[in-house]
Structure 1
Amino acid sequence: METTSATAATKNTRSTAAATASRTTRSRRSTEKTTAKTTDKSAAATTAANATTTAAKATSRRTAAKSARSTTRSAAKSTARTATKAAAKTALSPIPGLVGEAPAPTIPVTEPGQFGRVNILDITPNEERGIYPARVELGETFEVTAQVFIEGRTKVGATAVVRTPRGKETARRAMTCVNPGLDRWTVELACGERSDAKPWDADFAAVKRQLGLWTVTVEGWEDTYRSWLHDAEIKVKTGDDVENALDSGAELLARWAVTKDARLNAAERNLLKEAAAKVADRALSPTDRLAAATTDEIRALHETNPLRDGLSESAPQRFKVERPKSSFAAWYQFFPRSEGAYVDPATHKIVQGTLKTAVSGLERAKAEGFDIVYLPPIFPIGTTNRKGKDNALVAGPDDPGSPFGIGSALGGHDTVDPLLGTMDDFKAFTARAHELGLEIALDFALQCSPDHPWVKEHPNWFRTKPDGTIAFAENPPKKYQDIYPIDFNADMPGIEKEVERIMNLWIEAGVTIFRVDNPHTKPVRFWQDVIAAVTRRHPEVLFLAEAFTRPGMMRALSYVGFTQSHCYFPWRNTKEELSEYLLETNGEDGYYQHNTFWPTTPDILTAYIRDNGIAGHAVRAVLAAMGSPSWGIYNGYELIENQQRPGFEEQRDNEKYEVKVRDWRRADKYGIAELLTSLNRIRREHADLFSYHNLTLLPTHDENIIAFARHTPAELTANGKADTLIVVVNLDGHNAHQDEVHLELTDFGIDPDKGAHLRDELTGREFDWHWDNFVSLAPWADVAHVLTVVR
């Protein structure tokens, strides 16, 4: 697989380089059509004749390939000579009586590694080995940086160009030099526009056509206008060689007006021509002549439609653009068997819920604003070594067992547990979810109970101990006596084929996402093969990795197709830990590993959640919803279920081993459900802000106050207005804290003379902020501010 991918990448690189040279040649020929027409025809005829002769004499593919490369080099040399002659001719100024200077030419790049007239290096993000492109969601904002420079003290500019998988240009944005000493330029971009279309919607077909490998090309160019202006202002002020300086400016403006690359309209061309005439008019004073070239209109034109000499392109950088919900998602988890469960008054035993009663969970998720419902395994549960309450080794007669002990005589991974219903019931469940606008994510735990059909049908899929027994799962000192792990060494292709069959079956039943249990304990190549096969047939399907492991493994899983992953957010609780983790999640790693922030799961209940009560639940919800584009809630959070099992960081009376009967009427008493609903509303209303690449920490002093901001410029929002979100959180669930938050106004496009008028999206209160701003947060009132800039 890797060899094939590398070969394809090499071919794409060569193809792209040729396309780049072709576009450059076409652009120059268009600009110089009158001067170079005869020469171009001659060169083209000569090249065609040479190519025909070579092809006729070719005796093998190798000879033909060598000839083609030779022809390309000859054509490139011919083109370069033509460009040089054309540049010399266009050096003649459009203004009578003036002789213009030869502008920097565009030097053709005919093979990888060659530099153009302007140098471009170290573009980020970059593909590892040219194989694994950065991943972004359709419409998600992201940052591209590069080193762009030229020799001497000549000024340069840089532009980033975004193109679809079909090569259509969709955006062209000026880059900003943020570190002149290091020649570092940066720009914020987006591939396409955000969409909330679901895979079953009619308009998803239009979204689907936009997915795939987009490219970003960095263009470097000599900034002739800025270089001239720098020197001309000094010369006019000191009276040094003034006429030559102003004549050069007049010629430059006149040439700018007729340059097609500048993409000027008639009014803009006339503006430049008129300015050129004034600058060349020796009847005016030098100061007035210079002023004609430096009006606000011309400076603005320089920002939007500059004269770009010596235009040089980088190799296109690829970005894998994925569908909506690949990055920006809100998950809600519940166990169907607990939804609608009740205690039978006659027997005093719990009657579990079904897929039909579980519709109540869908409706609750919808009401709270979530868009993905995640279900634990819904397959038959084994009886051998079935676990009892709180992971007890011996199950009682009424214990339902863990849904992760998959498989019984009733079926395996391709069967609905009869206690939950039938496959038709599941299809009706997913259909109702789709009516509510909810996607269904199904847990896929690749493990078996001793009763799973695979144990008899494929005994070689399991590891056998020397005594002939199958080894159950363990992670010493932990043991999972009700689970047999899969052994991939004997028949990985056979296991792959079966997993692909099963996943396709659930996809046909309405599943659009798989949450994969412990993928890091299986071969990475296994997932690479399976995900490639499944998404080739169903490109809309997403994968969430429930993996807590080393960075290298996490990166590899993201490379092979896991669009999101669980992470260490639950254990990052201090200001220092959170500051580091927010930047890690929303930084360079965010181009590959999309961390989904879950405050709790059936397996995780931290001491912070245990010890900080309602305020602690509110704090962690705000941090999760605002700190990552993707977040999730395990149901029961609304009811403050925070009792730990003694000696473990997980819930007591764990739902993994029993059916929960909940009184959802109590949720109003705590206010957490209302908070979750508000957080999801804020996220929807400011969707353009939720990227893995636009979070900034804001300085504070108190160790219990953390503040951060998200910002998206006007050019990248749906309504054309800049959007800024400021989050301030008191991490102490018991005490009030006051602090000062510093906001670097200009970094967020805020006029320092006016300051920022903010609205707290949680309370509706409004504030006026400037550089340094007092905040006071108390756990019995407001644990956090979620502020948007109103004006």
Structure 2
Amino acid sequence: MHITRLSALITASYAHGETAIHRFIHILRQHAHTIGVKPLMSSKEKAAMSTKTTENTAEKSTSSPAKRTTGTTKRATTATRKRRTAKTPAPVTPGEAPAPIIPVTEPGQFGRVNVMDITPNEEHGVYPARVELGEAFEVTAQVFIEGRTKVGATAVVRNPRGKEMLRAPMTCVNPGLDRWTVTLTCGEHSDAKPWEPEFAKVKRQLGEWTVTVEGWEDTYISWLHDATIKVQVGDDVENALISGSQLLARWASSSDAKLNAHQRKTLEAAAATMADASLSPQERLAAATSSDVSELHTSNPLRDGLSPSAPQRFKVERPKASFAAWYQFFPRSEGAVYDDQHGRIKQGTLVTALSGLERAKAEGFDIVYLPPIFPIGVTNRKGRNNSLIAGPNDPGSPFGIGSKLGGHDTVDPLLGTMDDFKAFCNRAHELGLEVALDFALQCSPDHPWVKQHPNWFRTKPDGTIAFAENPPKKYQDIYPIDFNADMPGIEKEVERIMDLWVKAGVTIFRVDNPHTKPVRFWQDVIAAVTKKHPEVLFLAEAFTRPGMMRALSYVGFTQSHCYFPWRNTKEELEKYLLETNGDDGYYQHNTFWPTTPDILTDYVRDNGIAGHAVRAVLAAMGSPSWGIYNGYELIENKQRPGFEEQIDNEKYEVKVRDWDDAGKYGIAELLTSLNRIRREHVEAFSYHNVSILPSSDPNIIAFARHTPAELTSTGKPETLIVVVNLDGHNAHQSLIHLELPDLDIDPKHDVQVRDELTGHEFTWGWDNFVSLAPWADVAHVFHIVR
């Protein structure tokens, strides 16, 4: 209300030669009562006032009688002091106050900086994402703050004991959506096998790790943006530079930045230079933008308003958990021969089955998978091709488990003894092979459990036990287990049995039809087994609904059979490759099998040798984990009429094979080459790094596996380009387009590619011509030569 009078006094003061600021202070003190503010005091007046206040306080203290303060009085005095403190305004610090850390005391609260939508994070983080020890994986999040203030983000990795193992800066890849990303690893990669002494170090790193995304106000970048503009246009330069000097000094003293002595001195020197008014503004600003300071902003930033997210859980699994090449064979067929004297087949044993180990090793596989090796029931035994009546020499299905000789904890005497099985495992380990054992949780009518635990089986109203069935199909040689009466008892028995086979040398269980048992049952069993044996892996043979397959992955199945055999067109395959090798790969590890004893698709039946080659290339290159059922090398592709399975199915008879014939077809040689390529370029294989490459022909599919340089042990990018002709009868040509920058290729130059199947080299650029014929080459697997 007295602004006009005050303005006139200030204007008049200029005529007397007084500086504006001194005259303003003098006038404000004289007329403070007229504008309603407390008069300003000089420094002398402040000192005098302080002395007077001290003297008054001392006088009051000495004049008051001494009193013994009771607890009540103390509390009252404390409360009074708190009230007085609350009324006292906080001191004003020149410049901007740094963003505070706001405690988060309950779920859903935000910190000073907002962190949301962290990925991977399916089912609201209830089930942890899964990664292999030392495997590179991506974490993303939305990180933002109000207004135009800049933010940063950091990812912190902690091991199962809560120890910080890695702190990595995140990069904003989409400013418009505030999306930040970082590539991380949990633990150190190792090739140690579970039976090797070095595995003890691996074992300590397995378990549940966490990743915390920390959002923070990037005070340095916010200041730098404004200060640079102000220096350029000459606006409020001194305040901008002094603010920067104070900021660098505060950064140098930050404990969170984890600076060493040299780094602190770098920041302190820059702060001193910025405060030096004898230098030009440009020189002072340059001190805060030097390469040394910029590097520290990346590695050891000043993080104001630090706001950590809830820890995101990651289940870290042992080496080869997500990179495996499986080879399945039936031990009873290995070494089997015709016995002309008795007119029947003499089956193989665990001793003769060593030949299967040698073949798997020669073809480059690293897991041998055996169907059940337990005694086979006699009652209602199945005959050839699943017939209801078995002949006198029919061995029965190994999935009709259990006889008077024993159940799931016994080796079938026709195969050998437990000592024979242990010797088999020892030989496998000498060859560097793991042994996977089929675990089919079902029983023949002769299984010991039928008498020992009759309540484990479902009965009909007439009191008889119900056969397994899927109407109109019936499995008369199998009793299904009923989990409703005594699931804890069944769990305990299964845990005992698995422990027995692990101690014998098994490191992986392939579980038959897990989707027909309660998910909670497997959750309990796998948790108990892996707690005692964290190296044990589980493969789910669950050709069923997507939800059930995902649930089984959530509860501990490391890998999963999948729909790959039925994905045969270009469109189907492109979609399925991205589904398998995308974010879903953090939870479900699809293992690609071209065929199994139960699956022989029309594509494999109709496309001959070329079809077998095509499906092998797609399986080996399309997923980090793949598998082959033996006999594939011999083009065993005759279907049982009306069924997508082989005729003369090995599940119901012993096969006598002439492995010398494998050389006629070239498939064994192809399998060996594919496994060699996988080993030599292992860093190109991940469940998260496939991209589809545009191709002009509907029968030519092309995709790339690319791992950037910063994620490889060599410091160089690792890239494979796979091109396949899906037509097993006709030649096709196509242009394959490469988005060169996406593959870390300089777009100004062409690149050399080497076909790892043939050894031929080519020069490629943006668009490249290929021609593939089934009688020559069905596929290229190019490696980019750097």
Residue type of the alignment partner of 2:473: K
What does 1:120-519 correspond to in 2, within 5 Å? 120-126=115-121, 128=123, 130-265=125-260, 268-276=263-271, 279-280=274-275, 286-287=281-282, 289-519=284-514
Residue type of the alignment partner of 1:103: P
Residue 764 of structure 1 deviates from its aligned partner by 2.5
What per-residue deviation string (whole Å, max 9, x for no partner) do you get for residues 239-264 of structure 1? Answer: 44444444444444454444443344
What per-residue deviation string (whole Å, max 9, x for no partner) do you get for residues 166-193 of structure 1? Answer: 2222222221222222211111211112
Distance 2:261 2:769 in 1: 52
Residue 504 of structure 1 deviates from its aligned partner by 1.9
Distance 2:379 2:461 in 1: 21
Residue 522 of structure 1 deviates from its aligned partner by 1.1
Residue 366 of structure 1 deviates from its aligned partner by 1.2
Residue type of the alignment partner of 1:702: D
Distance 1:642 1:387 in 2: 22
Correspondent of 1:724 among 719, 722, 729: 719
Residue 624 of structure 1 deviates from its aligned partner by 1.3
What per-residue deviation string (whole Å, max 9, x for no partner) do you get for residues 55-107 of structure 1? Answer: x9xxxxxxxxxxxxxxxxx9xx9xxx9xx99xx99x7xxxxxxx764332333
Tell me, yes or no, if the aligned pair for 1:587 and 1:692 is still in contact at 8 Å.
yes
* Aligned counterpart, 1:627: 622
Cα 1:461–1:170 change in 2 (3 A) is: same
Distance 2:100 2:297 in 1: 19
Distance 1:501 1:486 in 2: 17
Cα 1:464–1:479 change in 2 (3 A) is: same
Matched, 1:593 2:591: no
Tell me, yes or no, if the aligned pair for 2:350 and 2:421 is still in contact at 8 Å.
yes
Tell me, yes or no, if the aligned pair for 1:190 and 1:716 is still in contact at 8 Å.
no
* Aligned counterpart, 1:548: 543
Tell me, yes or no, if the aligned pair for 2:736 and 2:767 is still in contact at 8 Å.
yes
Cα 1:518–1:253 change in 2 (3 A) is: same
Normalising by the residue count of structure 2, what TM-score does the alignment of the two structures yield? Answer: 0.84
* Aligned counterpart, 1:525: 520
What per-residue deviation string (whole Å, max 9, x for no partner) do you get for residues 132-156 of structure 1? Answer: 2112121122211111001101111
Tell me, yes or no, if the aligned pair for 2:329 and 2:370 is still in contact at 8 Å.
yes
Cα 1:553–1:229 change in 2 (3 A) is: same
Tell me, yes or no, if the aligned pair for 1:142 and 1:694 is still in contact at 8 Å.
no
Distance 1:257 1:674 in 2: 62
Cα 1:132–1:776 change in 2 (3 A) is: same
Stretch deviating more after TM superposition (269-278 or 181-190): 269-278
Cα 1:304–1:767 change in 2 (3 A) is: farther
What SS does the aligned partner of 1:758 have? Answer: strand
* Aligned counterpart, 1:560: 555
Residue 740 of structure 1 deviates from its aligned partner by 2.7
* Aligned counterpart, 2:705: 710
Tell me, yes or no, if the aligned pair for 1:140 and 1:688 is still in contact at 8 Å.
no
Cα 1:283–1:788 change in 2 (3 A) is: farther
Correspondent of 1:106 among 93, 101, 105: 101
Distance 1:532 1:679 in 2: 34
Residue 460 of structure 1 deviates from its aligned partner by 2.5
Distance 1:461 1:260 in 2: 62
Correspondent of 2:742 among 747, 757, 775: 747
Tell me, yes or no, if the aligned pair for 2:458 and 2:466 is still in contact at 8 Å.
yes
* Aligned counterpart, 1:657: 652
Residue 455 of structure 1 deviates from its aligned partner by 2.3
Residue 451 of structure 1 deviates from its aligned partner by 2.1
* Aligned counterpart, 1:786: 781
Stretch deviating more after TM superposition (595-604 or 117-126): 117-126
* Aligned counterpart, 1:695: 690
RMSD: 2.6
Cα 1:601–1:224 change in 2 (3 A) is: same
Distance 2:227 2:753 in 1: 44
* Aligned counterpart, 2:661: 666
For the pair shown, the structure with the greater C-alpha radius of gyration is 2
Residue type of the alignment partner of 2:725: N
Residue 569 of structure 1 deviates from its aligned partner by 0.8
What SS does the aligned partner of 2:356 have? Answer: helix
Cα 1:439–1:705 change in 2 (3 A) is: same
Cα 1:727–1:257 change in 2 (3 A) is: farther
Tell me, yes or no, if the aligned pair for 2:329 and 2:371 is still in contact at 8 Å.
yes
Correspondent of 2:760 among 765, 778, 782: 765
Cα 1:717–1:169 change in 2 (3 A) is: farther
* Aligned counterpart, 2:576: 581
Distance 2:139 2:102 in 1: 24
What per-residue deviation string (whole Å, max 9, x for no partner) do you get for residues 363-392 of structure 1? Answer: 111111211111001111122222222112
Matched, 1:572 2:546: no
Cα 1:281–1:751 change in 2 (3 A) is: farther
Residue 517 of structure 1 deviates from its aligned partner by 0.7
Cα 1:768–1:265 change in 2 (3 A) is: farther
Tell me, yes or no, if the aligned pair for 1:136 and 1:591 is still in contact at 8 Å.
yes
Distance 2:738 2:113 in 1: 37
Distance 2:692 2:297 in 1: 33
Distance 2:269 2:760 in 1: 53
Correspondent of 2:607 among 590, 599, 612: 612
Residue type of the alignment partner of 1:655: E
Distance 2:218 2:479 in 1: 66
* Aligned counterpart, 2:12: none
Residue type of the alignment partner of 1:771: W
Residue 289 of structure 1 deviates from its aligned partner by 4.9
What SS does the aligned partner of 1:331 have? Answer: strand
Tell me, yes or no, if the aligned pair for 2:206 and 2:534 is still in contact at 8 Å.
no
Runs of 5+ consecutive residues of structure 1 not aligned to the other structure: 1-55, 57-73, 92-98
Residue type of the alignment partner of 2:427: R
Distance 2:443 2:570 in 1: 41
Residue 360 of structure 1 deviates from its aligned partner by 0.5
Residue type of the alignment partner of 2:696: H
What SS does the aligned partner of 1:556 have? Answer: helix
Cα 1:226–1:730 change in 2 (3 A) is: farther
Residue type of the alignment partner of 1:579: E
Residue identity (%)? 82
What SS does the aligned partner of 1:599 have? Answer: coil
Distance 2:260 2:465 in 1: 76
Distance 1:355 1:740 in 2: 51
What per-residue deviation string (whole Å, max 9, x for no partner) do you get for residues 493-528 of structure 1? Answer: 332222222222222221121111111111122222
Tell me, yes or no, if the aligned pair for 1:141 and 1:712 is still in contact at 8 Å.
no
Residue 561 of structure 1 deviates from its aligned partner by 1.9
Tell me, yes or no, if the aligned pair for 1:140 and 1:690 is still in contact at 8 Å.
no
Normalising by the residue count of structure 1, what TM-score does the alignment of the two structures yield? Answer: 0.83
Count of paired positions: 702
What per-residue deviation string (whole Å, max 9, x for no partner) do you get for residues 285-328 of structure 1? Answer: 55555455445554444333333222221121111111123222
